[in-house]
Chain A
Amino acid sequence: MDTSSLGISYHAILPELITATAAIAIMVGDAVARKISRRTAGLLALAGCAGAAVAVFSLWGETGPAFYGGMIINDPLRLSFAIVFLAVSTLTVLISIRWIEDEGLPAGEYFALLMFATTGMLLMASANDLVMIFLGLEITSISTYVLCGYRRQDIRSNESAVKYFILGSFSTAFLLYGIALIYGACYISGAHPAATTNLQLIRERIADGALFSPRMLMAGAAMMIVGFGFKVATAPFHIWSPDVYQGAPTPVTAFLSTGSKAAAFASFSRVFILTFAAASVMGSPELRELQSAWTGVLAVMAILTMTIGNLVAIVQTNIKRMLAYSSIAHAGYALMGIVARDWQAVAFYMIGYAVINIGAFAVIEAIARRGDIRTSLSDYSGIGFRSLGLASVLSLFLLSLAGIPATAGFVGKLLVFKSAWGAGFHMLVVIAVINSAVSWYYYLRVIVLMFFSEPAAEFNPPSLTKSLGVALVIMAIATFYLGLLPGRALALLENAKNQATMIVAK
């Protein structure tokens, strides 16, 4: 077998290579230089993200056959989600530098883990094989388990890490079992290969109706929903996320609630939209049955997720926990895009959500100070005019989370709602709109607290570091940019969609 038939191409995995190299460089640097400085580590991580972004753009439009024996694919879905992940990582690095400083924690491992997690996420999007997806997911998960417990002295941080680890490994088992079942279900005696985890082959076999056991396929798909659903934190598999989000260090929470979710959505899209769905009205009865089963289940899960998230968020008194439930609710909205089989809408939703949610967490981190002390909602009363800048951007992000027009959150919601409506899920859209209205209550409450309440006892406006300030400005501008001028981003995605349909048609 010569190398060309294996499809070895370093260009095709350049983004992953760059982030992994950055991670290793930080670790080695940390070991060689005894203690790598926070600034250096942060800058290396930023350079890694930037380099990977350049690599992603260099790959744009270069859709070809799968690489590495069908393991890696370069298609619009991969590139679109890669941009989401890299944006998340860049922003997380920017808001982490100050936090690491304040907490006095070692920076080298932190940024290295963050870059490894990014590498895993990138692999999840570029994977064309269930095994690769599993690998990417594990790289991400293991890095984030450690990150959750990074504040070693803090019992809440420890609790968060242990819970995430236990429940995470449990759900990974479901995913793995699901992969195994699908592998078996696609067995064709005498074919080469006989059974497969390659997604293209799986799609072909389902479409031809040439399956070993359709029921096995169904069971496998159900188990994969459990595995991905856990990562996305959809009900009823959301139950871990409030505890984990509240206990984890704030920048890690920001990362988990956006990047990790987006990665799971990328895999959801890859497996369910691009593999388990009919490209046209034709298709085998097996495929149609599978498709109707998973869209139905995911629609119900989306409703449960957003409703539980919003209702429970209302009664929270801790802002991190409130945003954890808000994050659950948002996963519900984004899931509507999966149900409607419109991954472009999901990708746009996730990048908008990443910007505003990381933004909100960045402000919370600045106000919480060392050791996550001030995270109760009552700490926010009356700080509006004492710290006008922070309070204003936090208000902006919260309004955007609520979905006020002219911001990123509104356009994202509009897109997924539109897709779901167009796909015929009218009831789902109605429930989502009601949910959205309910959510106004708890987002606005924070703003009202900040600007219209009597000031809390003592509050010293936190000073901003340069990195955090830059991050906040970027995110505020991006919130407006995506909200006011979404045209360019949408055109890019639309372009990607056309390419994608071409590929499927082939």
Chain B
Amino acid sequence: MNALTLIVLAPLAGAIFLGLFGGRLGERLIGFVASATVFISAAASFYVFFARLLPLPEESRVIHDYLFTWINVGAFRTDAALLLDPLSGIYILFITFVGFLIHVFATGYMKGERGYWRFFAYLNLFMFMMLVLVLADNFLLMFVGWEGVGLCSYLLIGFYYDKTFAADAAKKAFIVNRIGDFGFALGVMLLFLKAGTIFYFDDPARGIGGAFNWAMQQPFESLTAAAIFGGGLTTIAALMFIGATGKSAQLPLFVWLPDAMAGPTPVSALIHAATMVTAGVYMVSRASSIFIHAPAAMLIIAVVGAATAIFAATIGLAQWDIKKVLAYSTISQLGYMFLACGVGAFTAGIFHVFTHAFFKALLFLGSGSVIVALHHEQDMRNMGGLKKYLPVTFWTMVCGWLAISGVPLFSGFFSKDEILFNVYSSTQFGLVWARVLWFVGAVTALLTAVYMTRLMVLTFFGERRSSSGHSHGHDHSTPHESSRAMTVPLIILAIGAVVVGYLGIPEGLSGGGIPNYFERLLEPAIATHAAVRTAGNDVEAGHSLEWILTVVSSVIAILGILAGWRWFRTKPLWEPPKILEEKYRVDEAYDAAVIQPIKAASTGLLWKFVDVRIIDGAVNGAARLAAAVGTGLRYMQGGLARAYVAMVVLGALLIIGYFVTK
């Protein structure tokens, strides 16, 4: 047991404490306990990562923390054990850091809400589960965290449980995620059947073998549809990716995330933007040694990622609810991350997870600040001109806006650029795929800049539009800037949104002078193979290509912002195409294609036939049978003690008769 345990257990202690005693404590103390436990976790994470992990030689940067052997039956073994390597290290750094800021923000945001303690107990529990997910050293423990964050997400989406839409959204998230989790569980089971272990890596000290070490010795499977159903690595990878589509809201399982915005805004920032939804990317990167051997699964990931990215971006263009815009934006950005993973650029994907955690948390918290200032108004049609009322919120959100749009020198620029470069120069699916996927990514980048500009213009610029209900020009309540607890986290996140990108300056931009620090850091934890590292063959050509693409994506970002600015400054209330505003009617399609048939089948078949005919029939039949047996015994009726006695006698006679005559 070492400091890793502390990282995980601190938030759990907070959750237990708040769950047991929170109801009797004041808001200040609750907020303090919740934030302090996450702070401890963050401090421990920084300490372990920088003081313990980094000093280790590059190729052996792994810290194990074995707690106890959980299950050990025959060949199957699972430990409760934690593992820190650069990949999980990056994750715990931003989870605890951003998580801490969001906890602090939430102490201000949730002020005066009913169930304040419950909220923070859940939030701390979420941190615990998320850290278990990331720090687990085997798939089963990861699955525990995976399900745990799902549960917390469910509880927090349904936090306003007396509102029907919140309860429905919680249910939807829960059910949709079960579909994905089923795939994940099947994938892990198949992995165990094939590899005989569900640990990630070998650990001679405990005498366990690792699935990844096994996977690295397997041959590459073919890029064919047959491989997907072949029952080998490709099948494992495809099943696992189904889990990722659920948790990380990809096509076709993305439908729960927009509805999840029914939860309080800090929840949206923490769970549904910065941390939990990126668990799918984590899982795929963690299992990179499996995925690189499964090119067919990789192509699926890349295509699903690209399709989700552009699909969600177009919907984001047409939403009026400020949080819905950010929700679709999140789905779109997650698509980007999967696109990167799909072409084998796992480090680029993780880098985008990292920068995205900062700027998307910032944007969500900023929107939360706006929502609070406007007394829980979320419709952007009723906003506008808030720049002068909420200066801190405005300026910090400007940082987030420029970062997500990919404006040069902001964090999103570096990570997005890295992804587009890797997609463009990938070779394993052939040139056509590389160009098509790149093109989709580039268009998505343009759309991102446009819809984010629209969000900013509608919210902060122009004239103030108040809701139609009370349309007197001078609104009686001028919006006020939020409290310190909310603005300070915004400022810190804004700084992060600007600077964290510099950790991963693409090698080409500096002419190879500065190696990409982020990539170097992650290298040992991520499996790559030759086909992916195209630029490696011809360094010079790679660098010049990188320059060209960087210029292209800079132009795209600035073009998008300018177009959005010109268009929405003049026509802020421009009605977008109906089909976009209605989100391509996917929910309705699912309702018609899946939910209604199931309902019909369950009433028609299960209830009317199986339940009424078979089960009820059997039950009634049993009752009738019992009655028939009882006709001989006249008093055999429910409730009469003498009938019961008769029954006992009958049974006794049967048994005694059997014994004696045997």
Is there a chain B Cβ closer than 8 Å to A155's Cβ?
no
B contact residues, range? 20 to 34
Q: Which residues of A contact B660 (CB under 8 A)?
A: 215, 218-219, 222
Give residues of chain B (146-173) contacting chain A, Cβ–Cβ below 8 Å: 158, 161-162, 167, 171
The docked-state distance in angstroms from the alpha carbon of A162 to that of B652 is 22
B659 near A485: Cβ-Cβ < 8 Å: no
A162 near B619: Cβ-Cβ < 8 Å: no
The docked-state distance in angstroms from the alpha carbon of A312 to that of B70 is 38
A312 near B619: Cβ-Cβ < 8 Å: yes
Q: Which residues of B contact A311 (CB under 8 A)?
A: 618-619, 622
A162 near B648: Cβ-Cβ < 8 Å: no
B70 near A484: Cβ-Cβ < 8 Å: yes
B70 near A167: Cβ-Cβ < 8 Å: no
Binding site for B on A (CB under 8 A): 162-163, 166-167, 170-171, 174, 215, 218-219, 221-223, 225-226, 229-230, 235-237, 239-240, 243, 289, 293-294, 297, 308, 311-312, 314-315, 385, 388, 441, 452, 484-485, 487
Q: Which residues of A contact B161 (CB under 8 A)?
A: 385, 388
Given A163-B644, A215-B660, A226-B652 contact (CB < 8 Å): yes
B648 near A230: Cβ-Cβ < 8 Å: yes
Q: Which residues of A contact B648 (CB under 8 A)?
A: 167, 170-171, 226, 230, 236-237, 239
The docked-state distance in angstroms from the alpha carbon of A229 to that of B656 is 13
Q: Which residues of A contact B647 (CB under 8 A)?
A: 236-237, 239
Taken residue by residue from 65 to 101, chain B's Cβ proximity to chain A (1 for < 8 Å, 0 otherwise) reads as: 0000010100000000000000000000000000000
Which residue of the partner chain A has the closest CB to B158?
A385
The docked-state distance in angstroms from the alpha carbon of A163 to that of B660 is 30
Given A222-B656, A222-B659, A314-B158 contact (CB < 8 Å): no
Q: Which residues of A contact B539 (CB under 8 A)?
A: none
Number of A-B contacts (CB under 8 A): 78
Of the candidates B158, B622, B644, B662, the one whose C-beta lies within 8 Å of that of A308 is B622
Q: Which residues of A contact B70 (CB under 8 A)?
A: 484-485
Given A226-B648, A239-B644, A297-B658 contact (CB < 8 Å): yes
Of the candidates A167, A174, A219, A441, the one whose C-beta lies within 8 Å of that of B641 is A167
The docked-state distance in angstroms from the alpha carbon of A421 to that of B647 is 31
Is there a chain A Cβ closer than 8 Å to B655's Cβ?
yes
What's the nearest-Cβ distance from chain B to residue A468, in Å? 14
Q: Which residues of A contact B592 (CB under 8 A)?
A: none
The docked-state distance in angstroms from the alpha carbon of A218 to that of B650 is 18
A293 near B662: Cβ-Cβ < 8 Å: yes
The docked-state distance in angstroms from the alpha carbon of A205 to that of B662 is 20
Is there a chain A Cβ closer than 8 Å to B536's Cβ?
no
Q: Which residues of B contact A230 (CB under 8 A)?
A: 648
Q: Which residues of B contact A235 (CB under 8 A)?
A: 651
B651 near A237: Cβ-Cβ < 8 Å: yes
Which residue of the partner chain B has the closest CB to A236?
B651
Q: Which residues of B contact A297 (CB under 8 A)?
A: 655, 658-659
Chain B interface, DSSP helix/strand/loop, else mixed: helix
Binding site for A on B (CB under 8 A): 70, 72, 158, 161-162, 167, 171, 615-616, 618-619, 622, 639, 641, 644-645, 647-648, 650-652, 655-656, 658-660, 662
Given A236-B650, A484-B70, A223-B656 contact (CB < 8 Å): yes
Which residue of the partner chain B has the closest CB to A438?
B615
Q: Which residues of B contact A312 (CB under 8 A)?
A: 619, 622
B619 near A315: Cβ-Cβ < 8 Å: yes
The docked-state distance in angstroms from the alpha carbon of A452 to that of B161 is 12
Starting from the known contacts A223-B652, A314-B615, A385-B158, 12 additional A-B residue pairs (CB-CB under 8 Å) come to A166-B645, A219-B660, A222-B655, A222-B656, A225-B655, A226-B652, A293-B659, A311-B618, A315-B616, A385-B161, A385-B162, A385-B167
B619 near A240: Cβ-Cβ < 8 Å: no
Q: Which residues of B contact A294 (CB under 8 A)?
A: 659
Q: Which residues of A contact B645 (CB under 8 A)?
A: 166-167, 170
The docked-state distance in angstroms from the alpha carbon of A222 to that of B616 is 34
Of the candidates A166, A221, A237, A240, the one whose C-beta lies within 8 Å of that of B659 is A221
Q: Residue among A221, A308, A487 with the most chain B CB within 10 A?
A: A487
Q: Pick 25 A–B contacts, CB within 8 A, sort by A.
A: A162-B641, A166-B645, A170-B648, A171-B648, A215-B660, A222-B656, A222-B658, A222-B659, A223-B652, A223-B656, A226-B648, A236-B647, A236-B651, A237-B651, A289-B662, A293-B658, A293-B659, A297-B655, A297-B658, A312-B619, A312-B622, A314-B615, A314-B619, A315-B616, A452-B171
Q: Residue among B162, B615, B650, B655 with the most chain A CB within 10 A?
A: B655
Given A226-B648, A226-B651, A239-B644, A219-B171 contact (CB < 8 Å): no
The docked-state distance in angstroms from the alpha carbon of A453 to that of B645 is 41
The docked-state distance in angstroms from the alpha carbon of A221 to that of B618 is 34
Q: Residue among A163, A223, A239 with the most chain B CB within 10 A?
A: A239
What's the nearest-Cβ distance from chain B to residue A415, in Å? 12
The docked-state distance in angstroms from the alpha carbon of A48 to that of B470 is 70
A219 near B651: Cβ-Cβ < 8 Å: no
The docked-state distance in angstroms from the alpha carbon of A236 to that of B651 is 6
The docked-state distance in angstroms from the alpha carbon of A388 to that of B162 is 12
Which residue of the partner chain B has the closest CB to A392?
B155
Q: Which residues of B contact A314 (CB under 8 A)?
A: 615, 619
The docked-state distance in angstroms from the alpha carbon of A218 to that of B161 is 63
The docked-state distance in angstroms from the alpha carbon of A315 to that of B617 is 11
Which residue of the partner chain A has the closest CB to B636?
A239
Q: Which residues of B contact A485 (CB under 8 A)?
A: 70
Q: Which residues of B contact A226 (CB under 8 A)?
A: 648, 651-652, 655-656
Q: Which residues of B contact A225 (CB under 8 A)?
A: 655
The docked-state distance in angstroms from the alpha carbon of A218 to that of B659 is 6
The docked-state distance in angstroms from the alpha carbon of A452 to that of B645 is 42
What's the nearest-Cβ distance from chain A to residue B82, in Å? 17
Q: Which residues of A contact B167 (CB under 8 A)?
A: 385
Q: Which residues of B contact A163 (CB under 8 A)?
A: 641, 644
A174 near B622: Cβ-Cβ < 8 Å: no
The docked-state distance in angstroms from the alpha carbon of A239 to that of B171 is 41
B618 near A240: Cβ-Cβ < 8 Å: no
What's the nearest-Cβ distance from chain A to residue B169, in Å? 13
What's the nearest-Cβ distance from chain B to residue A341, in Å? 18
Q: Which residues of B contact A170 (CB under 8 A)?
A: 645, 648
The docked-state distance in angstroms from the alpha carbon of A222 to that of B618 is 31
Q: Residue among A162, A163, A222, A388 with the most chain B CB within 10 A?
A: A222
What's the nearest-Cβ distance from chain B to residue A204, in Å? 21
What's the nearest-Cβ distance from chain A to residue B66, in Å? 16
The docked-state distance in angstroms from the alpha carbon of A226 to that of B649 is 9
What's the nearest-Cβ distance from chain B to residue A290, in Å? 8
Q: Which residues of A contact B72 (CB under 8 A)?
A: 487
Q: Which residues of B contact A162 (CB under 8 A)?
A: 641
Closest CB pairs A-B (n = 9): A236-B651, A222-B659, A385-B161, A222-B656, A218-B659, A226-B652, A239-B644, A222-B655, A239-B647
